[in-house]
């Protein structure tokens, strides 16, 4: 199969190696000419994924229209850019697989909803999510993800195309659950990083992950998802790895905040996007529209955008009105 990768960041580069391992021809789009030249000439992508060795059947281009010749398109651009990038590919007769994890500011759309609005010509949509840091995927460390599509045949195609002995793909029909799990785990990961930066212990982090998962599942269910999805790879699995891993950009943002840096100082030094920052506000607004309370997300927003001291935010969570766990 001919596979097009929209975006040349870490995850786009990692998924290109999975596809190339299975013998598919891959065309990767990047905005940056130097990244394209490095991929095509040196078979590396040092800017976004150091240590990657890119196979000869992966090529790169700055011409996004060239991806229209592909049968499968993989979106690896951050959520806030999808609306601006995908219209260039509307009219392509391809299956689109989304890797981005976030909620759009303003519209409060999940990526599937953005795609439906700006590129309705795509014949099928799937979202691929789960505990899958690019830095480990590129080293062929065993990784398991889930592909969700309303069309089971679409998920089956993705499974056939991307499954390898080190990259196992499960299937689901719960697009909403998988997308909400992938988006909100980044917000909880920022909170987990704050816990790390403050030097708090395992009790605190375990409580945060557990109650964060309950928060995510509550919103997903209100939007029509199966809450059981959030106790699988796209929920619990991705939440755990993002809250615990040294590879997590969102956790790293939180850790630096916990150590006293401001959000402006942190973002000024980052070359990659931490989607949890923009998702925090969008998630709160989306939750308010369906009458769901997100107490951890609310306190993360207060810390990021309201100047609230992290210790005060933790105190606010710990002194909320007592209630039943479930």
| Residues designated as active site | 185
SS3 103: coil
CA torsion 300→301→302→305, rounded to 10°?
Answer: 130
Q: State how far Cα 10 lies from the chain centre.
A: 12
Task: Name the pairing type of β-strands 143-148 and 124-129.
Answer: antiparallel
Q: Which residues contact 297 (CB under 8 A, 6 or more apart)?
A: 184, 187, 188, 215, 280, 283, 284, 287
Q: 54: exposed, middle or buried (C-beta count within 10 Å: 0-12, 13-18, 19+)?
A: buried
- List, in sequence order, every residue forming a beta bridge with 29; answer none if it has no partner: 6, 61
Q: What is the dihedral of CA 245, 249, 252, 257, to 10 degrees?
A: -150
Give ∠ CA 1-72-90 in degrees, rounded to 5.
140
SS3 45: strand
Q: Distance between CA atoms of 119 and 139, rounded to whole angstroms?
A: 34
Helix residue spans in the chain (DSSP H):
10-21, 33-42, 79-85, 111-118, 134-137, 152-162, 175-198, 202-222, 238-244, 249-258, 263-267, 275-289, 295-306, 310-318
């Amino acid at each position: 199969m001919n596979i097009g990768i929209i975006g040349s960041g870490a995850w786009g580069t990692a998924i290109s190696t999975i596809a190339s391992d299975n013998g598919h021809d891959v065309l990767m789009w990047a905005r940056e000419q130097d990244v394209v030249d490095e991929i095509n000439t040196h078979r590396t992508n040092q800017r976004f994924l150091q240590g990657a060795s890119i196979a000869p059947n992966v090529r790169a281009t700055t011409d996004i229209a060239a991806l229209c010749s592909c049968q499968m398109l993989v979106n690896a651009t951050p959520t806030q850019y999808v609306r601006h990038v995908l219209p260039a590919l509307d009219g392509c007769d391809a299956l689109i697989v989304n890797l981005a994890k976030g909620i759009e500011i303003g519209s409060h759309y999940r990526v599937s909803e953005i795609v439906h609005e700006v590129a309705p010509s795509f014949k099928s949509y799937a979202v691929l999510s789960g505990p899958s840091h690019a830095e480990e995927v590129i080293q062929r460390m065993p990784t398991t993800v889930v592909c969700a599509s309303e069309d089971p045949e679409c998920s089956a195609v993705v499974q056939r195309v991307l499954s390898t002995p080190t990259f196992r793909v499960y299937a689901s029909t719960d697009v909403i659950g998988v997308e909400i799990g992938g988006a909100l785990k980044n917000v909880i990961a920022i909170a987990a990083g704050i816990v790390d930066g403050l030097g708090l212990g395992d009790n605190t982090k375990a409580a945060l992950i557990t109650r964060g998962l309950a928060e995510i599942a509550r919103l997903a269910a209100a939007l029509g998802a199966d809450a059981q999805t959030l106790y699988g790879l796209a929920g619990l699995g991705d939440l755990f790895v993002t809250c615990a891993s040294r590879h997590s950009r969102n956790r790293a943002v939180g850790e630096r905040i916990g150590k006293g840096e401001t959000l402006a100082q942190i973002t000024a030094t980052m070359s990659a996007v931490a989607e949890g920052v923009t998702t925090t506000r969008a998630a709160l607004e989306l939750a308010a529209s369906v009458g769901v309370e997100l107490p951890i997300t609310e306190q993360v927003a207060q810390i990021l955008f309201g100047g609230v001291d992290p210790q005060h935010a933790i105190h606010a969570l710990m002194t909320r009105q007592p209630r039943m766990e479930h």
